[in-house]
Amino acid sequence: MERRNFLKQNVLVGGSLLAGTSLLAENIKASTSRSLEPVPFKLNYAIHDGMFENLAGPNFIDQIKYAHSIGFTAIEDNGMMSRTPEMQQKIGDTLAALGMHMGVFVVNFSINDKINLTTGSQEWKDKFTASCKEAVEVAKRTNAKWMTTVPGNFERKLPIDIQTGNVIEGLRPGIEILEKNNLVTVLEPLSDTPDLFLRHSDQTYAICKAINSPACKILFDMYHMQKNEGNIINNINRCWSEIGYFQIGDNPGRNEPGSGEMNYHNIFKHIHSKGYKGVLGMEHGKVGAGKEGELALIKAYREADNF
């Protein structure tokens, strides 16, 4: 090939590559821009404190306002009962002004990995009841409806059905308080350790049926249930009448939808098709760091919610 033609061809190829790179950059920019449009998501995905700290700053109130500006309609805060009453009220007022939902906070009568309600002891029953009374006041300040309860570890000295009976009886007095205030505790089966008593959706379903109260439902955390039992959509259908709340996290890794093996696009579509109007808590981390990781998380939710 003559040198002149070789140089000419390289200029053309280089120009094509530059044009392709420019087009790719524009597509990425456009995709990010669409993710940040103030269009509400089809479902009420609930952010956590810190989820948008790079884009909105470290203040949770600012993060709530930012999340609202890009289409999120809910928050949840496991540690709400540990916040000051003044901060609880401020969060509640912010949500009310924005028309956003308050998701779960944890009824903090016990640390998850301790033996408590399975024992049948009056001490633990009293602790749970007292925490429910406190939770009522927190719910008033934050416009909350749901609160998470975990009935602790197995009591290995007792048969499983005796433990189940103890949990049911231990929950009843506190649940009666919540029911009088039109609140709901959602029982959460977990995968963190095999020592935890509550681990499966069917087990939780049976306990809710036994208690037979609108104030006692299932928190179906899809990350934990994928690890413990899989078959997510079928198990959602089986437990539907007792599910009060969902939480999200892909597996493995417990990060945003699309980061693991779970088809959240189809799962969200299914939940939406069943007429679910409640909250789905974003109880997971982010694959990426900094602003880029937070933008990627938003984009992931836009894609999973696009049905």
- Write down the pLDDT at residue 115: 87
Written as one letter, the residue type at 146 is W
Going by pLDDT thresholds of 50, 70 and 90, the confidence category of residue 37 is: confident
- Write down the pLDDT at residue 113: 59
| Residue 2 reports pLDDT greater than 70 | no
Of 63, 70, 71, nearest to 94 by C-alpha is 63
The rounded distance, in Å, linking the Cα atoms of 219 and 249 is 13
Over residues 42-93, the pLDDT tens digits come to 999 999 999 999 999 999 999 999 999 999 999 999 999 999 999 999 999 9
Measured CA to CA in angstroms, residue 177 lies from 143, 151, 230 at distances of 17, 17, 34
SS3 291: helix
Q: In this structure, what DSSP letter does residue 227 have?
A: H
Helix axes 85-98, 60-69, angle to 10 degrees: 10
Enumerate residues 6+ apart whose C-beta is below 8 A from 188.
Answer: 148, 149, 150, 198, 204, 218, 219, 221, 224, 247
What residues pair up with 109 in beta bridges, in sequence order?
none
- Write down the pLDDT at residue 81: 97
| Residue 17 reports pLDDT greater than 60 | no
Over residues 95-145, the pLDDT tens digits come to 999 999 999 999 988 765 588 999 999 999 999 999 999 999 999 999 999
The rounded distance, in Å, linking the Cα atoms of 175 and 178 is 5
Of 65, 61, 40, 63, nearest to 51 by C-alpha is 63
Burial of 234 (0-12, 13-18, 19+ CB in 10 A): exposed
Over residues 157-174, the pLDDT tens digits come to 999 999 999 999 999 999
Element (H, E) at 135: helix 122-142
Helix/strand/coil (H/E/C) assignment for every residue in 228-276: HCCCHHHHHHHHHHHEEEEECCCCCCCCCCCCCCCCHHHHHHHHHHCCC
Q: Which of 4-18, 114-128, 203-217 has the highest mean pLDDT?
A: 203-217
Written as one letter, the residue type at 234 is N
- Please, are residues 64 and 100 in contact by the beta-carbon 8 Å criterion? yes
> Over the range 5-30, which residues count as b (16 or more CB within 10 Å of their CB) and which as e?
eeeeeeeeeeeeeeeeeeeeeeeeee
Find the range with the poorest average confidence among 11-20, 24-33, 64-73, 84-93: 11-20
> Over the range 244-258, which residues count as b (16 or more CB within 10 Å of their CB) and which as e?
bbbbbbbbeebbbbb
- Write down the pLDDT at residue 10: 45
